[in-house]
């Protein structure tokens, strides 16, 4: 029986702001690898296991980004289940289990993996999965416990008993308790990874939290399929209680088992975790991007768009993006959330978008923004098309930089090539398409009394927005 990877990709990762944003979350970023995102790495490490097509559970706002990342690593057959609203891991896994049963038999084995973990020791990972699969075939609900390497206060723990039994789940301890756990050798970090039959999990969920089971089942029964996506009924799913798999199932069940994973692992939850995990230079610095350091030590410094120079500083995290710079004592990494909450409270958008925004058809980047004008650089992928739309408050002027643009401008349809342009008045129905074989790049100048993204009236859209 093949294992079905279930990738949980519902989080945002606000503690990794300003790199992680609501519409481009940390699991989609290449934080520990120059080529692949955390999500892509998670899927790639399952390839050698001879697994079935994966199921990804994600936020609806991330659906096109997730689909694009899967396709770019050759994953063309997958189920992307869209959560209308985050309800924690128990409902998310229940959705995946129901989807797996629809596609396969009721005893399909689910390998549940968060999308933001980093594991370098693939051989040890595969060994732990092999052990867990034998237990799961006997209807056990298996969790993976990571062999601790330090007295960590940021993780929950599992006290292991004999024959893979779970003796106790323990909340995040203080430092003294964590030191005692490490010294005893009986405790493992609670990794949040699981392996079990879809039927076994759903049965235990129904036994211990029938309210969650019933709500998720009703929402799933009223699902719809849209392109590669499985849309869950929003109203019914919103009625589901919010709960983690640990509290809902793993702690009350009598079928819990824990398999130790002895190898390299991190959940990269905040900047200090990324610093601890990354390779360091002679001054114990992690320098990423266009960075110069003189006399600085124990720092993580990351540049995304310009030169960052650090002189004579210690124990800092410095992260530069095109629209925000974070400077923080490394020991205060958990407090980044406070800044994100302030940004939200003040009605700003730096917690939501980067200056480059990804869409299913390509990207756009805001170059300049004033009271009555906005300039964007737009890239449309070959063969893709923006929605047929109009605006009540703004006019647009498009200038093609490279490639070919097929433009609907009111009643006219025209082709534009390099250095050619068109003007679209307020209220005129228009559309933009790239009929060519190379990316279309153009500059868009907007002018008007209101320039928000919600001033779009769509008449048709191939992406179902």
**Domain architecture of the chain: domains with CATH:** 3-261 (3.90.550.10), 280-340 (no CATH), 356-460 (2.60.120.10)
Question: What pLDDT shows up at residue 360?
Answer: 87
3-class DSSP state of 441: strand
Q: Whole-prediction pTM value?
A: 0.86
Asked whether the beta carbons of 204 and 255 are under 8 A apart, the reply is yes
- Other Cβ atoms less than 10 A from the Cβ of 85: the count is 14
Percent of the chain predicted with pLDDT > 70: 100
Strand duo 394-402 + 421-424: pairing: antiparallel
Parallel, antiparallel, or unpaired: how do β-strands 394-402 and 141-146 relate? Answer: unpaired
Using 50, 70 and 90 to split pLDDT, how confident is the model at 298?
very high
Number of H helices, E strands in the chain: 11, 28
Q: Given a cut of 80, is residue 57 above it in pLDDT? A: yes
Residue positions counted in the chain? 465
Q: What is the pLDDT of residues 2-18, one digit of tens each?
A: 899 999 998 888 999 99
3-class secondary-structure state, position 181? helix
């Amino acid at each position: 029986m093949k294992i079905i990877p279930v990738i949980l990709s519902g989080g945002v990762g606000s503690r990794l702001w300003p790199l992680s944003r609501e519409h481009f979350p940390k699991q989609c970023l290449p934080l520990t690898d120059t080529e692949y995102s955390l999500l892509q790495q998670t899927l790639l490490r399952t390839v050698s296991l001879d697994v079935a097509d994966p199921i990804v559970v994600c936020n609806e706002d991330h659906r096109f980004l997730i689909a694009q990342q899967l396709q770019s690593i050759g994953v063309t057959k997958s189920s992307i289940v869209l959560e209308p609203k985050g309800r924690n891991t128990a409902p998310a896994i229940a959705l995946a289990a129901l989807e797996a049963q629809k596609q396969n038999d009721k005893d399909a084995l689910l390998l549940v993996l968060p999308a933001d973990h980093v594991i370098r020791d693939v051989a040890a990972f595969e060994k732990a999965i092999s052990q867990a699969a034998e237990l799961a075939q006997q209807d056990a609900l298996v969790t993976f416990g990571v062999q601790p390497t330090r007295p960590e206060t940021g993780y929950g723990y599992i006290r292991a008993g004999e024959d893979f039994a779970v003796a106790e789940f323990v909340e995040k301890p203080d430092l003294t308790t964590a030191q005692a756990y490490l010294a005893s050798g009986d405790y493992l970090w609670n990794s949040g990874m699981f392996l079990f039959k879809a039927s076994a999990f759903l049965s235990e969920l129904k036994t211990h939290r029938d309210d969650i089971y019933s709500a998720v089942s009703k929402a799933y029964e009223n699902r719809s399929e849209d392109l590669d996506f499985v849309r869950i009924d929003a109203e019914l799913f919103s009625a589901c209680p919010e709960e983690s798999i640990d509290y809902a199932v793993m702690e009350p069940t009598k079928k819990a088992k824990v398999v130790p994973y002895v190898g390299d692992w991190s959940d990269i939850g905040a900047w200090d975790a990324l610093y601890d995990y990354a390779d360091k230079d002679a001054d114990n610095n992690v320098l990423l991007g266009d960075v110069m350091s003189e006399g600085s030590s124990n720092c993580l410094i990351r540049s995304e768009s310009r030169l960052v120079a650090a002189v004579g500083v210690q124990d800092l995290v410095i992260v530069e993006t095109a629209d925000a710079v974070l400077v923080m004592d490394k020991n205060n990494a958990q407090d980044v959330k406070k800044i994100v909450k302030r940004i939200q409270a003040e009605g700003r958008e730096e917690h939501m978008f980067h200056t480059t925004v990804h869409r299913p058809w390509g990207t756009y980047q805001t170059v300049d923004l004033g009271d009555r004008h906005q300039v964007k650089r737009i890239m449309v992928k070959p063969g893709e098309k923006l929605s047929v739309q109009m605006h009540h408050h703004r006019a647009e002027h498009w200038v093609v930089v490279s490639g070919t643009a097929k433009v609907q401008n009111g009643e006219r349809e025209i082709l534009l090539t390099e250095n050619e342009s068109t003007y679209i008045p307020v209220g005129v129905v228009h559309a933009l398409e790239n009929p060519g074989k190379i990316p279309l790049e153009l500059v868009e100048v907007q002018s008007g009394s209101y320039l928000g993204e919600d001033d779009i009236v769509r008449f048709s859209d191939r992406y179902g927005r």
